[in-house]
Amino acid sequence: MRPLLLLLGLGACAVADPRPATTDPDAVTTPSGVLAARLVRPAYDPAHHGDTCKPYHHVFAPDGRLLTKGLGGHYEHHRGLFLGWNQLRWRGRGFDFWHCRQGETQRFRGFVAPGELGLDDGWQVAAIDWCDGGGEVVLAERRALCARDLGDNAVALDLRSDLRAASDPVWLDGDPQHAGQQFRALQAFGEPGATPVRYVRPAGAAGQANDVWTGCRWIAAVLPLPDGDVTVLRVEGSGNPGPATWSTRGYGRFGATFTVELRPGEVLRCQWTYVVAAGARDAAWCERLAAAATR
């Protein structure tokens, strides 16, 4: 049996993959066939802007339990695994690709062959255009996701986003509560009286006001589900722009953001690893898995 360190790592899915073929293009499964995530890609409908303005991924526990919130609920714009900046600037104008309240949209255009990004068939790759209120493309994105079996009732999700400015320079900016790549847990944790999500952080994490954290490359959420806890470890990619600024909330929205300028002709490649495991895992476990994800 190979050591765990050999099974982890961003980009580790870009090798020969024996997973069974699936007829469901939205499903992201491990090589053993475990459903780890599912793409939700609504066709944009201006009459239902809020419900159809952006795609996202639902995330599942290794035993099949749904872990993420979809439409509606507390902060309805939070949905599964999602990406956005609320203070994006382009052509001297400001845009909010987090709430998408001024007509902004992230539009699914179709699936892309993984080989076009140098990835193998184990990856799901979605073409997503970030458009202004008039439908003009601001950013062209390729969002890729791959799932891996880790053993020990755990799976890994490798998430990659390639962002390209469609024409003029784009400045990605926003506050930690409303920007970057983030995870939103089930609506149940946002209900009055609900047991809050607990967070595990590395020893060097520095807490600031309003649930902001710096000085760390990983944070884990322990979700207190009725049928047993599930730990969701999020690891910031070592090659991402920095420094990463994190935000965590008791209702289960957590992630990190950064500020960067993207010029035409450049591709900003960002990567994150999520590890989803049964049970409440401790800081030592998180540190070990996070260190492996950087190799």
Q: Tens of pLDDT along 75-101? A: 989 999 999 999 999 999 999 999 999
CATH code assigned at 39: 2.70.98
Q: Tens of pLDDT along 156-186? A: 999 999 999 999 999 999 999 999 999 999 9
In a domain, 65, yes or no: yes
In a domain, 22, yes or no: no
C-alpha Rg value of the chain to the nearest Å? 18
Average pLDDT, the chain: 92
In a domain, 228, yes or no: yes
Q: Tens of pLDDT along 237-294? A: 999 998 999 999 999 999 999 999 999 989 999 999 999 999 999 999 999 999 987 6
Residue 142 in tokens: 């390729």
Spatial distance between the Cα atoms of 126 and 45, rounded to a whole number of angstroms: 19
In a domain, 187, yes or no: yes
Domain boundaries, position 178? 4-11+31-293
In a domain, 21, yes or no: no
User: 3-class SS at 61?
Assistant: coil
Spatial distance between the Cα atoms of 205 and 57, rounded to a whole number of angstroms: 28
Spatial distance between the Cα atoms of 284 and 295, rounded to a whole number of angstroms: 18
In a domain, 26, yes or no: no
Strand order in the sheet with 81-85: 27-29, 35-40, 56-59, 81-85, 179-184, 253-257, 245-248, 212-214, 206-208
pTM over 0.75: yes
Q: Tens of pLDDT along 9-22? A: 444 454 334 444 55
pLDDT at position 13: 57
Which residue did the predictor score with more confidence, 121 or 16?
121
In a domain, 24, yes or no: no
pLDDT at position 53: 97
How many domains does one find in the chain? 1
User: Is the per-residue pLDDT at 295 higher than 80?
Assistant: no
In a domain, 23, yes or no: no
Q: Are strands 154-165 and 105-111 parallel, antiparallel or unpaired?
A: unpaired
